[in-house]
């Protein structure tokens, strides 16, 4: 196995310590390659899945460890700024000469904008229509993620809770908005709940389930679609019906009800019977907690959402941002909350519109300048809480939605292991936004947005060539 080649970086662009060669795949995030094993081991060590937790996390609760892909980044960021003076960035004139012809590729269609900035200084090195609002497709997940991390911090976890009414004869499964709740955690939660009930001498209950954490329509505006389940505060495995963990899949039309029915069956396996099928209802105001399970930390959720372009998780992040901001956890409230949190980061929001958190809605609007500004904020040593926005980006040729791009012999192959970027794809819309390591060890943030593209088959190679041109 080849050893990864690392470079010494400036403090401002220290995130580049991630990787410069084939070994980059091992640092691509906790949701691919060996990082899956690391994530599972860390989760087991923390007894995260289903442990009976009868109290909300407070000051005495141990803080979650950083996401597995983060240590190299966080270590590099500790280097004092004075020890690494900035190197000169690529001259704008040379970038214009390199990128101009590539941006004119007819495969990008008639609408194309671009922004390239020095992530250390935030200064723009190249721009073409950089402030023009465009349909961003899934690159909007960069904005959704930055907003969620700003509102909640990287250690935040989403709970799913079982509570009892005053007489313990009625229990309620309360969804907190965690779409990553899986069968294993639901099974452990049921076991803990049954144990708590039996300790009270209760073996027969009425089960209800509470999805009131979210408001507004559950169905995404695109309608029934394999790319996203109904957006509800209670679901298991993102409502996927075929056992897949990523990508399009047949979805349940009632993921909350399915989860509650599965929970009832699991309770029965532990000697607690339920009277009839579970019904949707709010938990009693004076409900007593029985058991609780927590999601992974927000840092890991952000990385998963970005690496695999997880639409369900992105919508959950947007709604968690709304809840933290005191706004309705609906499509509209989440959009307002994301914009509000991004204003705190002082990024250019001219013309921006957040119709959803995933980018499936064609009414979304972002500019290339906004995306590069967010990436530069995420590389800022003063904002370590935003680092998962960078560590979650797919690595060209290795992980996530870039695993089959930047490969040997493909357009832009020179960017393999050096380009980390979020992809965006809708019919007629193709986008790419991320970071690259330059030949002199600088971190550049880029965003290329194309509209009315003839096809992904022509647009994606053109975008890859643009990103790879930044690392000659």
Higher pLDDT, 75 or 287: 287
- Do 333 and 419 sit in the same domain of this protein? yes
Closest CA to 422 of 391, 457, 394: 394
- Do 214 and 266 sit in the same domain of this protein? yes
Active site residues: 138, 141, 309
3-state SS of 28-89?
A: CCCCCCCHHHHHHHHHHHCCCCCCCCCCCCCCCCCCCCCCCCCHHHHHHHCCCHHHCCCCCC
Model confidence at 87, pLDDT cuts 50, 70, 90, reads low
| Tens of pLDDT, residues 383-402 | 999 999 999 999 999 999 99
CB 320 within 8 A of CB 156: yes
- Do 276 and 205 sit in the same domain of this protein? yes
- Do 172 and 232 sit in the same domain of this protein? yes
From CA 433, how far away is CA 290, in angstroms rounded? 44
- Report yes or no on 7 lying in a domain: no
- Do 315 and 455 sit in the same domain of this protein? yes
pTM of the model as a whole: 0.84
From CA 415, how far away is CA 411, in angstroms rounded? 9
Range of the domain at 260: 159-295
- Do 381 and 276 sit in the same domain of this protein? no
- Do 149 and 286 sit in the same domain of this protein? no
- Report yes or no on 344 lying in a domain: yes
By residue count, the chain amounts to 472
- Do 173 and 190 sit in the same domain of this protein? yes
Model confidence at 461, pLDDT cuts 50, 70, 90, reads very high
279, 295, 311 - which closes a domain: 295
| Tens of pLDDT, residues 201-248 | 999 999 999 999 999 999 999 888 899 999 999 999 999 998 888 888
- Do 219 and 278 sit in the same domain of this protein? yes
Higher pLDDT, 438 or 427: 427
Count how many domains the chain has: 2
CATH number at residue 145: 3.40.710.10
- Do 381 and 446 sit in the same domain of this protein? yes
- Report yes or no on 222 lying in a domain: yes
- Do 140 and 163 sit in the same domain of this protein? no
């Amino acid at each position: 196995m080849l050893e990864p080649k690392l470079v010494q970086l400036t403090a401002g662009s220290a995130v580049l310590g991630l990787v410069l060669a084939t070994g980059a795949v091992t640092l691509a995030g906790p949701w691919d390659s060996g990082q899956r094993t690391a994530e599972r081991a860390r989760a087991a060590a923390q007894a995260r899945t289903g442990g009976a937790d009868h109290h909300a996390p407070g000051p005495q609760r141990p803080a979650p460890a950083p996401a597995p892909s983060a240590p190299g980044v966080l270590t590099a960021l500790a280097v004092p700024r004075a020890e690494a003076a900035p190197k000169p960035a690529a001259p704008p004139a040379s970038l214009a000469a390199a990128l101009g012809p590539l941006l004119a590729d007819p495969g990008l269609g008639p609408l194309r904008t671009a922004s390239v900035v020095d992530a250390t200084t935030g200064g723009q090195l190249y721009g073409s229509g950089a402030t023009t609002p465009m349909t961003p497709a899934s690159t909007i997940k960069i904005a959704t993620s930055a907003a969620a991390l700003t509102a909640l911090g990287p250690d935040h976890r989403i709970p799913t809770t079982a509570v009892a009414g005053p007489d313990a004869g009625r229990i309620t499964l309360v969804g907190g908005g965690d779409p990553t709740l899986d069968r294993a955690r639901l099974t452990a939660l049921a076991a803990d709940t049954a144990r708590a009930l039996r300790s009270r001498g209760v073996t027969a209950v009425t089960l209800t389930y509470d999805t009131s954490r979210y408001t507004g329509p559950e169905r995404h505006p695109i309608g029934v679609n394999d790319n996203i389940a109904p957006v509800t505060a209670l679901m298991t495995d993102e409502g996927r019906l075929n056992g897949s963990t990523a990508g399009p899949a047949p979805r349940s039309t009632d993921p909350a009800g399915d989860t509650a029915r599965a929970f009832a069956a699991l309770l029965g396996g532990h000697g607690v019977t339920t009277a009839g099928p579970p019904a949707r209802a709010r938990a009693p105001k004076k409900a007593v907690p029985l058991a609780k399970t927590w999601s992974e930390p927000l840092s890991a959720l952000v990385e998963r959402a970005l690496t695999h372009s997880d639409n369900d998780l992105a919508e959950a992040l947007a709604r968690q941002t709304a809840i933290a901001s005191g706004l309705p956890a609906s499509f509209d409230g989440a959009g307002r909350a994301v914009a509000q949190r991004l204003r705190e980061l002082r990024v250019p929001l001219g013309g921006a519109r957040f119709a959803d958190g995933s980018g499936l809605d064609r009414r979304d609007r972002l500019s290339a300048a906004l995306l590069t500004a967010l990436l530069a904020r995420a590389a800022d040593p003063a904002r370590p809480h935003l680092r998962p926005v960078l560590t979650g980006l797919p690595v060209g040729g290795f992980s996530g939605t870039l695993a089959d791009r930047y490969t040997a012999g493909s357009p832009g192959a020179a960017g393999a292991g050096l380009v980390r970027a979020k992809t965006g794809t809708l019919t007629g819309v193709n986008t790419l936004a991320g970071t690259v390591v330059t030949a002199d060890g600088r971190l550049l943030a880029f965003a290329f947005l194309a509209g009315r593209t003839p096809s992904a088959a022509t647009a994606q190679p053109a975008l890859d060539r643009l990103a790879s041109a930044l690392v000659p």
